[in-house]
């Protein structure tokens, strides 16, 4: 069966750590860094479980700062 | 798989920052709905190829710096006067697609007169209206659209109808005017809602380009700083409270009725 593989790339310098992408992700790929912060002091988002990504781009749609890029491929 | 592996396996980029959104940090609070709507406006202008013909009118309010974020022509209007400025722009530049981007303090309070008369004259403009029920920029004061019982910095015990009047549903008001061709109410709290809001904004821009009349797109939004909630809680609160008074959906469509 064809499998959809996706990956997200987050611009951590622009991320404001609003957590909306984490909530929107249907497969719980994303999380906020608990201890690290970016230059502006925000706990930025990162792909905590990248293997689960299905490239649905839900995170990118709800991101208010447009700092998420999503790539997707369908592999047989 | 990494990005490079996916591209070499024949995959593609499915989402990225819109080309017309400038590469600067927006001044909005984390989780603000303005960012999402800016993104949608930039995407729609790019998709319709209006980069050189679109003219935006920026309001006074949180979105006052919209001209710093979206790479099209902009005019900054006095508080509430964006539809009046847009009227002049669209009449003097018949080839341009003119849109305004306003908040509820701008459009529904000080600019009520301009809004209603621009809509009633059927000016060929698109109005994007961000309704978060509060004056966000000045520190969370009560706006005309503030819900009954909602706490703001000027109504610390909640809005009282006997003292402050009822919340103003300006979109339903505008629907009744003959000049409007497309009136809709959307939100951007979930991926599905974002897709619908984008389709609505696109329709509004097409109507403005084709000179069909005034298009009015209300986006029911959150102001998590003003509401004193986390972005996630603010979205939930909006679903539970705002949608009762401001139900989502298409209110009027005379261009392509279903």
The partner residue sitting opposite A60, judged by closest CB among B15, B34, B190, is B15
Number of compact structural domains in chain A: 1
d(CA B132, CA B60): 15
Q: Is the pLDDT of residue A76 over 80?
A: no
Q: Does A12 touch chain B (CB under 8 A)?
A: no
Residue A65 sits in a domain whose CATH number is 3.30.70.20
* pLDDT tens-digit map of A17-53: 999 999 999 999 999 999 999 999 999 999 999 999 9
Residue A17 CB neighbour total at 10 angstroms: 21
Domain B26-253 part of CATH 3.40.50.300: no
Chosen from A5, A18, A47, A63 to mutate, greatest number of chain B CBs within 10 A: A18
Using a pLDDT cut of 70, give the percent of chain B over it. 100
Q: Which residue has the tokens 């305004």?
A: B100
Q: Does A58 touch chain B (CB under 8 A)?
A: yes
d(CA A39, CA B41): 28
Taking Cα atoms as reference points, which of A10, A34, A20 lies closest to residue B31?
A: A20
Beta bridge partners of B187: B220
Q: Is the pLDDT of residue B39 over 80?
A: yes
Q: Which residue has the tokens 């009027």?
A: B252
Q: Is the pLDDT of residue B258 over 80?
A: no
Q: What is the average per-residue pLDDT within B135-162?
A: 94
Domain boundaries, chain B: 26-253
Contacts of A74 in chain B (CB under 8 A): 11
Q: What ipTM score was computed for the predicted complex, to two decimals?
A: 0.94
Whether residue B25 and residue A65 make contact (CB cut-off 8 A), yes or no, is yes
- Quickly state the pLDDT bin for B99 (edges 50, 70, 90): very high
The partner residue sitting opposite A73, judged by closest CB among B9, B26, B33, is B9
The partner residue sitting opposite B21, judged by closest CB among A18, A58, A66, is A66
Chosen from B2, B3, B6 to mutate, greatest number of chain A CBs within 10 A: B6
- Quickly state the pLDDT bin for B23 (edges 50, 70, 90): very high
d(CA B187, CA B183): 14
Q: DSSP for B197-228?
A: HHHHHHHHHHHHHTT--EEEEEEE---HHHHT
> What's the residue count for chain B?
258
d(CA B195, CA B43): 12
Q: Please, which residues 190-249 of chain B have a Cβ atom closer than 8 Å to chain A?
A: 190-191, 194-195, 230-232, 235
Q: What is the average per-residue pLDDT within B59-81?
A: 94
Instruction: Tell me what pLDDT residue B234 has.
Output: 95
Q: Does B18 touch chain A (CB under 8 A)?
A: yes
d(CA B110, CA B98): 21
Residue B145 CB neighbour total at 10 angstroms: 27
Chain B: residue nearest A65 by CA?
B35
Q: Please, which residues 26-45 of chain A have a Cβ atom closer than 8 Å to chain B?
A: 40, 42
Instruction: Tell me what pLDDT residue A63 has.
Output: 95
- Quickly state the pLDDT bin for B7 (edges 50, 70, 90): confident
d(CA B210, CA B204): 10
Give the minimum alpha-carbon distance from A27 to chain B in angstroms, rounded to a whole number: 14
Q: What is the average per-residue pLDDT within B220-239?
A: 95
State which residues form the domain around A7.
Answer: 3-75
């Amino acid at each position: 069966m064809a499998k959809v593989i996706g990956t997200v790339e987050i611009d951590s310098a622009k991320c404001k750590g609003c957590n909306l992408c984490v909530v929107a992700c249907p497969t719980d790929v994303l999380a906020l860094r608990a201890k690290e912060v970016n230059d502006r002091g925000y706990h930025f988002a990162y792909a905590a479980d990248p293997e689960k990504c299905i490239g649905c781009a839900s995170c990118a749609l709800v991101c208010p700062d447009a700092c998420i890029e999503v790539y997707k491929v369908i592999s047989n | 798989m990494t990005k490079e592996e996916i591209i070499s396996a024949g995959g593609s980029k499915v989402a990225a920052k819109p080309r017309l959104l400038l590469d600067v940090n927006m001044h909005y609070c984390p989780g603000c709905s303005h960012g999402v709507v800016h993104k949608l406006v930039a995407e729609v202008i790019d998709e319709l190829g209006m980069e050189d013909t679109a003219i935006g009118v920026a309001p006074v309010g949180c979105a006052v710096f919209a001209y710093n974020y979206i790479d099209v022509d902009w005019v900054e209007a006095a508080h509430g006067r964006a539809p009046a400025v847009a009227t002049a722009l669209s009449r003097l530049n018949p080839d341009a697609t003119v849109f305004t981007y306003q908040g509820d303090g701008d459009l529904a309070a000080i600019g009520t007169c301009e809004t209603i008369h621009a809509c009633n004259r059927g000016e060929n403009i698109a109005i994007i209206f961000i309704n978060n029920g509060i004056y966000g920029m000045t520190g969370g004061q009560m706006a005309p659209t503030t819900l009954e019982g909602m706490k703001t910095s000027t109504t610390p015990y909640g809005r009282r109808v006997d003292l402050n009047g009822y919340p103003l549903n300006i979109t339903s008001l505008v629907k009744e005017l003959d000049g409007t061709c497309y009136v809709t109410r959307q939100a951007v709290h979930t991926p599905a809602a974002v897709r619908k809001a984008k389709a609505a904004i696109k329709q509004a821009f097409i109507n403005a380009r084709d000179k069909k009349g005034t298009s009015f797109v209300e986006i029911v939004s959150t102001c998590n700083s003003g509401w004193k909630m986390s972005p996630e809680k603010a979205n939930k609160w909006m679903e539970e409270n705002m949608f009762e008074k401001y139900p989502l959906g298409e209110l009027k469509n005379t261009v392509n009725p279903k």
